[in-house]
Structure 1
Amino acid sequence: MKKLFYSAFAYMVIGVLSGLFYREFTKGKDFSGFTQLSVVHTHLLTLGFIVLLIVLILEKLFSLSKSRLFGWFFWTYNAGLVLTAAIMVVHGMMQVNGNTDVSAAIPGIAGLGHILLSAGMVFLFLALRTRLFGPDSKHDVGLPVALAG
């Protein structure tokens, strides 16, 4: 539970600081227009701070960390969020500095980050399902609730 609390807090701090960085960096470069830097702030606050606070509530209610899948969720999701946010910062700084020639690696790495985020969410739901219905439940074999009876 402490891991979730401190992670959510860290994403809140980094999210706020990324908003400050965006404002100051673009102002210092006299840049106006869209840049990836403008959405790093909201990504970190929403996907990091808010989502992990919701998971913290779910942990308190259902003891998610008792599921063996919880660790997979936590590390996969955080790796995806850090990778996504980092590549957004790199791409945004390139945009502000006027570099319009973007290597195919930038969207490729961003895509990998999004894939990790998605996989993390799948692990979260699998862990939640295990904690809600139990490992011996007929619901845990992947049958829709309506079919499982």
Structure 2
Amino acid sequence: MTSYLYRSAATWAGIGLAGGLFYRTLTHSRDFDGRTQLAVVHTHTLVLGMVTLLAVLALHLVLALDADRRGRWALHTWNAGLAVTSGTMLVKGTLQVTGRAYDLPALAGVAGLGHIALTAAVILLFLTIGARLRARREDAAQPSAERVTVA
């Protein structure tokens, strides 16, 4: 899970940087000076992808989140939800900049599904963290076996 978290965080960092470049390039080439959903793809993917997954990596190193299968489910659900959410932001922002219709109910529905997946991932992550903290507390409460030394 450690390498999966690292690779996921690095991937979202790349996507976030590419999203910022795409935003600047597209708006500059179109002389677009308004507000657009495309402007926040960069920050959303960097914070929700890279920063969040690096924080979860630190938690994993302390709590061994992969000992609970919900931890693995949380990460896959998070990545999928973030991909759907940021993908719809990218599409809507591109439509805004290019002057096409962007207020589409289907696009809002897909974005909603992405947010639902992110919410489910947060719930799974908190359940996993809670279970791992309880397991640590129970392990700490058990007396350790005495070591026998041979002289």
TM-score by length of 2: 0.87
Per the alignment, residue 142 of structure 2 pairs with none
Stretches of 4+ moved more than 3 A in 1?
none
1:72 Cα deviation from its structure 2 partner: 1.1
Q: Identify which range, 63-72 or 39-48, moves more after superposition.
A: 63-72
Structure with the greater alpha carbon radius of gyration: 2
Query: Which stretches in structure 1 are left out of the alignment for 5+ residues?
Result: 138-149
Shift of 1:101: 5.0
In the alignment, what sits opposite 2:17? 16
Q: Unaligned regions of 5+ residues in structure 2, if any?
A: 139-151
Partner of 1:56: 57
Equivalent residue for 2:110? 109
1:39-66 CA deviation, whole Å, 9 max, x = no partner?
0000000000000000000000000011
AA in 1 matched with 2:44: H
1:124/1:101 CA distance change after superposition, 3 Å: closer
1:100 Cα deviation after fit: 3.3
SS in structure 1 opposite 2:94?
helix
The 5 Å alignment of 1:1-149 reads 1-134=2-135
Aligned sequence identity (%): 44
Number of residue equivalences:
137
**d(CA) in 1 for partners of 2:94, 2:10:** 25
- TM-score for both structures, normalised by structure 1: 0.88
- Once residues 127 and 30 of structure 1 are traced to their aligned partners in structure 2, the CA distance between those partners, rounded to angstroms, is 48
How far, CA to CA, are the matches of 1:47 and 1:122 in structure 2? 15
- The SS at the match of 1:37 is helix
Q: What is the CA distance between 1:5 and its match in structure 2?
A: 0.5
Deviations 1:102-138 (A, max 9, x none): 2200111111101100110100000111111029x7x
Q: Separation in 2 of the partners of 1:127 and 1:115?
A: 18
Cα distance in 1 for residues equivalent to 2:135 and 2:108: 39
Residue 30 of structure 1: how far off its partner (Å): 1.1
